[in-house]
Structure 1
Amino acid sequence: MNNAYLDIIRIRFLTMLAYRVNYYSGIVIYAINIGAYYFLWQAIYGDQPTLGGFTVAQMTTYVAVSWMSRAFYFNNLDREIANEIRDGSVAIQFIRPYSYLLVKMMQGLGEGLFRLLLFMVPGMVFVCLIFPVTLPTSLETWMIYLIMLVFSFLINTQINMLAGLFAFYVENNEGMMRMKRVMVDLFSGVIIPVSFFPGWLEGIMKWLPFQAITYLPSSVFTGRTEGGMALQVLGLQALWFAVLLLPILWIWRKARHRLFVQGG
């Protein structure tokens, strides 16, 4: 990898480090969210051993790992890209000797590494001390999950980049970005596992990339998806990563002829 891109990762990491106190409080906030969902699902399950293919123990682990995974893959690249398009600063990127899209991906990776080390990992340890979370005992499961977590970041970042690039075509895409955030949280399985959706909607979700962000990796982590099936869902993530590259590159090429600046 070009040293310039490595520097971009390092600079974003150090920038995030300056605001680390905000992320320490974020650990508490995420723990509260997990606690709220934990007691909610306990009440929903009652005396039932399984719901939607999840046992109570699996659901507890699913909730914890889903929210803490979100701490890693979440970023605001969509808003950053949209702002740079609206104020015209993106124009200078066309003549610089690097890929603007790759720079944004590396900035997101720098933020993601910060969130992984100072938010997700300590947050998961904190949550495991409070709630009965069951961690995988298989090294293979951990390896597959960690690879899937990287793809979760990549796919979520690609969706963010797509939402941000639409600022080339609309004067204000704030509503689109908010809708995207709701759709990602809902349809990825952070709020409700995909298996709890009505059958027809669950079928539609299988043809969309959202489940590859949270539901599929968390299903592997909880042990609901094992062995060959785990490798299949990993392959599905890789497929979505490749597919999402196409609209991003297409929009970026078309957008070069549509740039206009709002304001002065």
Structure 2
Amino acid sequence: MMSAYLDFIRIRFLTMLAYRVNYYSGIVIYAINIGAYYFLWKAIFGSAETLQGFTLAQMTTYIAVSWMARAFYFNNLDREIANDIRDGSIAMQLIRPYSYLFVKMMQGLGEGLFRLILFMGPGLLIVCLLFPVKLPKDPAVWIIYFIMLMFSLFINSQLNILTGLAAFFVENNEGMMRMKRVLVDLFSGVLIPIAFFPGWLKSTMEWLPFQAITYLPSAVFTGRTPMSEAWGVLGLQAVWFFVLLVPIMFTWRAARKRLFVQGG
């Protein structure tokens, strides 16, 4: 059975490969975003050496890595699930001999691997040539960062699955999906590092999974979080991964009891 799930990873990777030109243009768009944020933060820093513990060099690296990480963990599983529910194809998925939710996770992983090889990797290389990004020299940082990136992908996919399953209850969750995307970009630290949030909001973020998607891995990569604390941060990501399984299972169980097909 596990080999069947691995096939879903391979099939999604090959499917994404068929549209790879779209992702080459995406590299240019992400480079423009990184450039805009780089010059913005450079103006904000002015003559200051540090802001909220960030040096300009760390901030530049944080911006580049955060946006490239987003290119890796981003997917549309929420929209795919919502479409399956609206057109009724979810009914056929439920009678097949595999776990629908696990299949979606594997498809998200296949897309993430594609994005890592053909989007994030080349994109980071180009950004390093354009902007003063300082990559860590310690191989241990790269290893733990890659592991943390995988948890970022899984946690973001879990949030997408939860949002997609909401279509069972609200029928049209388009607004919810857009709101979720804004919340993830803002509260995960892609747009603004969480260190710059007001104290009460920063404390609130410690009790939510968003920081585990971008801010925590990027803080380790830039050296803001020392390696002595990196394993604790990785453990926090693992905790959120297992915690999010609980609402997914309860939502899935409740959703299957109220399934009705809207399409033909």
Aligned to 1:222: 222
* Structure 1 counterpart of 2:16: 16
Aligned-pair CA distance for 1:95: 1.4
Match for residue 99 of structure 1? Answer: 99
Per the TM alignment, residue 194 of structure 1 is displaced from its structure 2 partner at its CA by: 0.3
Q: Are the aligned partners of 2:68 and 2:124 in contact in 1 as well (CA < 8 Å)?
A: yes
Asked if 1:233 is matched to 2:259, the reply is: no
* Partner residue in 2 for 1:206: 206
Partner of 2:156: 156
Task: State the shift of 1:99 in Å.
Answer: 0.4
Which residue is equivalent to 1:83?
Answer: 83
2:129 aligns with: 129
Q: Counterparts of 1:17 and 1:171 in 2: how far apart (Å)? A: 32
- Superposed CA offset, 1:71-124 (max 9, x none): 000000000000101111101122111000010011111111100000000000
Q: TM-score, normalised by structure 2?
A: 0.99
Match of 2:38 in 1: 38
RMSD of aligned C-alpha atoms?
0.8
CA contact 2:66–2:190 (8 Å) conserved in 1 = yes
Q: What CA deviation, in whole Å up to 9, does each residue of 1:197-250 have, x standing for no partner?
A: 000000000100000000000000000111221111110000000000010011
Mapped partners of 1:222, 1:9: distance in 2: 30
Q: Which runs of 4+ in 1 moved over 6 A?
A: none
Q: Does 1:185 align with 2:185?
A: yes
Q: Any gaps of 5 or more consecutive residues in structure 2?
A: none
Worse-matched range after superposition: 93-102 or 38-47: 93-102
Question: Hey, what does 1:64 align to over in structure 2?
Answer: 64
Deviations 1:119-156 (A, max 9, x none): 00000000000100000111111111110000000000
- 2:140 maps to 140
CA distance in 2, matches of 1:94, 1:239: 29
Name the SS for the 1:185 alignment partner: helix
Q: d(CA) in 2 for partners of 1:186 and 1:41? A: 16
Aligned counterpart, 1:167: 167
CA distance, structure 2, for counterparts of residue 68 and residue 12 of structure 1: 20
Residue 252 of structure 1 corresponds to which residue in structure 2? 252
> What secondary structure, in the 3-state scheme, does the structure 1 residue paired with 2:260 have?
coil
Report the Cα distance in structure 2 between the residues aligned to 1:216 and 1:237, rounded to whole angstroms.
9
Structure-2 separation of matches of 1:119 and 1:94:
33
CA distance in 2, matches of 1:44, 1:171: 44
Partner of 1:73: 73
Match in the other structure for 1:48: 48
1:133 match: secondary structure: coil
Contact 2:64 2:124 in 1 (8 A): yes
Alignment identity in percent? 76
Distance across 1 between alignment mates of 2:197 and 2:2: 44
Residue 263 of structure 1: CA displacement? 3.5
Deviation at 1:261, TM superposition (A): 1.7
Q: Deviation at 1:171? A: 1.6
